[in-house]
Amino acid sequence: MRNWRNQGFTLIELTVVLFVMVLGFSVIGLNLSSGNESSKLKAAARDIASALRFARGQALTTHQESIVAVDLTDNSYTVTGREQPYTIPEDIEITVDTAEEELVGDGVANLRFFADGSSTGGRVTLESGKFKWQIDINWLTGQIELNDDL
């Protein structure tokens, strides 16, 4: 004769298993959402670095100054020769360090590249939550360097 207790799981065992599964899925969900924030910030930093490299390339090929104008009031930037503004998500905080003469009014900071490839230099910092990316512009060479290890 078989004992009826050996034929299945108890309600307590099922509840414990479901609790562990829900806990595991919530941890995975939190990790995915923070990864989304990080990837959005990384994409914005790469876009700005790309715009800066484009502006430097334009200055070198056309032998004329080229400017990336960052509007800190509405999280956007424009590039000389491309009049359309590029927007950055509002939850990303932007700061720009540049030469004082490149600050042109209501929260607009210019990053200027000259015909020889040099620039006014500067730094663009993007932050979102605990994540941070920094774009450094060398004033002598105009080289753009993207860093996330801050």
Domain extents in the chain: 11-147
pLDDT given at position 62: 94
pLDDT of residue 142: 94
CATH superfamily of 11-147: minor pseudopilin epsh domain (3.55.40.10)
| Single pTM value for the model | 0.76
Low-confidence ranges of the chain (pLDDT < 70): 1-6, 29-35, 149-150
Which phi-psi region, left, alpha or beta, contains residue 74 (left: φ > 0; alpha: ψ -120 to 50)?
alpha
- The pLDDT value given to residue 11: 83
DSSP 108-119: EEEEEE-TTS-B
The tens digit of pLDDT for each residue in 81-90 reads 887 899 999 9
Pairing of strands 82-87, 93-97: unpaired
pLDDT at 78: 95
Which single residue is written with the structure tokens 């900071």? 109
